[in-house]
Amino acid sequence: MTEDIVILTGAGISAESGLGTFRDVNGLWTRYDLEEVATPDGFARNPALVHEFYNTRRANCRAATPNAAHLALARLEREGLGRVLVVTQNVDDLHERAGSRAVWHMHGRLARALCAACGYRWDAPDFMDPQDTCPACAAHATRPDVVWFGEYPHRMDEIWERLRAATLFVAIGTSGQVYPAAAFVQDAGRAGARTLELNLEPSAGISDFDEARLGKASDLVPAWVAEVLAQAEP
Ligand code: OAD
């Protein structure tokens, strides 16, 4: 059977590359106030603090390398028979650096900058600063091109279309606490897809999945990809 696979990834897939998750012990949201660094109001109150937070994350991302889980998903796209789409909540670029081509960043990307005044987007410099000017309109309104709480994620209509067409939906390394991504398992399941969770700890929505496997992404994902590729062999 030719599969149409949609894979949702979260911070857990990049954890073994050294990038922190949000809600685990020592996660980013245990050390930073989400309201201060990941909301439009927080940015309006203290843009320097928000830029500093994302400058550090951008530097960490540049220093990180893809792990076996990212590489396995790229292999699946390259060697599988059907369509493979990675929808990631992550703002890092480790899927791309592993070789995946169909990657949609629903929460934006650290590598991009956005002008809050005119909507222009460009490649982010290593360090962003409230005094930077937009290359298009010259306003002092530059921000990281990431989606904050209270903002609408990217490409949602296209994502829902792909979830409706999917034969298999897989969620990897996400706690299932942030919507709309947390509801993708229900959206895909209702439309007839089989659903699989690969995670270190059970997500909030684990009971919505047909199957769940618990463990490290670097173990689970390569093993699952090998299974899918073996089934696809003639
Ligand atoms: P969370 O930090 O909420 O969840 C991380 C998940 O990864 C948990 O379920 C962990 O059990 C799992 N995990 C940790 N290490 C792992 C490993 N080595 N292998 C496999 N799984 C592992 O991160 P997300 O679910 O991605 O949004 O968070 C969703 C969104 O909340 C983020 O995109 C971000 C955040 O606030 C915004 O900033 C808008």
CATH number, residue 127: 3.30.1600.10
Q: What are the pLDDT digits (tens) for 120-179?
A: 999 999 999 999 999 999 999 999 999 999 999 999 999 999 999 999 999 999 999 999
Are residue 160 and residue 89 in the same domain, yes or no? Answer: yes
Are residue 126 and residue 228 in the same domain, yes or no? Answer: no
Are residue 119 and residue 232 in the same domain, yes or no? Answer: no
**Phi, psi torsion values for 214, nearest 5 degrees:** -110, 135
Expressed in angstroms, the distance from the first to the final Cα of the chain is 10
C-alpha radius of gyration, the chain, whole number: 18
Ligand 1 atom index nearest CA of 16: 18
154 catalytic? Reply is no
Task: Tell me, in angstroms, the distance from the centre of ligand 1 to residue 51's CA.
Answer: 22
Are residue 181 and residue 72 in the same domain, yes or no? Answer: yes
Which residues on neighbouring strands pair with residue 122, listed in sequence order? 113
Are residue 100 and residue 31 in the same domain, yes or no? Answer: no
Last residue within a domain, chosen from 146, 170, 195 = 146
Are residue 55 and residue 120 in the same domain, yes or no? Answer: yes
Ligand 1 atom index nearest CA of 181: 29
Which structural domain, as residue segments, surrounds residue 26? 20-63+110-146
Look at the block and give the residue holding tokens 């897809």. 193
Two tokens at 88? 């990631």
Are residue 57 and residue 70 in the same domain, yes or no? Answer: no
Two tokens at 215? 């463990």
Task: Tell me, in angstroms, the distance from the centre of ligand 1 to residue 100's CA.
Answer: 20
H or E element, residue 187: helix 184-190
Q: Is 164 helix (H, G, I), strand (E, B) or coil?
A: helix
Q: Is 186 helix (H, G, I), strand (E, B) or coil?
A: helix
Q: What are the pLDDT digits (tens) for 22-51?
A: 998 889 999 999 999 999 999 999 999 999
Are residue 114 and residue 212 in the same domain, yes or no? Answer: no
Are residue 59 and residue 70 in the same domain, yes or no? Answer: no
Ligand 1 atom index nearest CA of 149: 39
Average pLDDT over the chain, rounded to an integer = 96
Look at the block and give the residue holding tokens 């109150």. 45
**Per-residue pLDDT band at 234 (split at 50, 70, 90):** low
Cis? peptide before 47, omega within 30° of 0:
no
Are residue 213 and residue 163 in the same domain, yes or no? Answer: yes
Q: What is the pTM of this model?
A: 0.97
Number of folded domains in the chain? 2
Q: Are 218 and 203 in contact (CB under 8 A)?
A: no
Are residue 93 and residue 182 in the same domain, yes or no? Answer: yes
**Which of 55, 224, 76 has the alpha carbon at shortest distance from 146?**
55
Q: What are the pLDDT digits (tens) for 168-221?
A: 999 999 999 999 999 999 999 999 999 999 999 999 999 999 999 999 999 999
SS (H, E, C) 63-121: HCCCCHHHHHHHHHHHHCCCEEEEEECCCCCHHHHHCCCCEEECCEEEEEEEECCCCCE
Q: Which residue type sits at 98?
A: A
Last residue within a domain, chosen from 99, 126, 146 = 146
Does the pLDDT of residue 81 top 90, yes or no?
A: no
Q: Which of 51, 95, 105, 107 is catalytic?
A: 107
The CATH number of the domain holding residue 164 is 3.40.50.1220
Are residue 37 and residue 139 in the same domain, yes or no? Answer: yes
Instruction: Indicate if ligand 1 lies below 6 Å from the C-beta of 12.
Output: yes
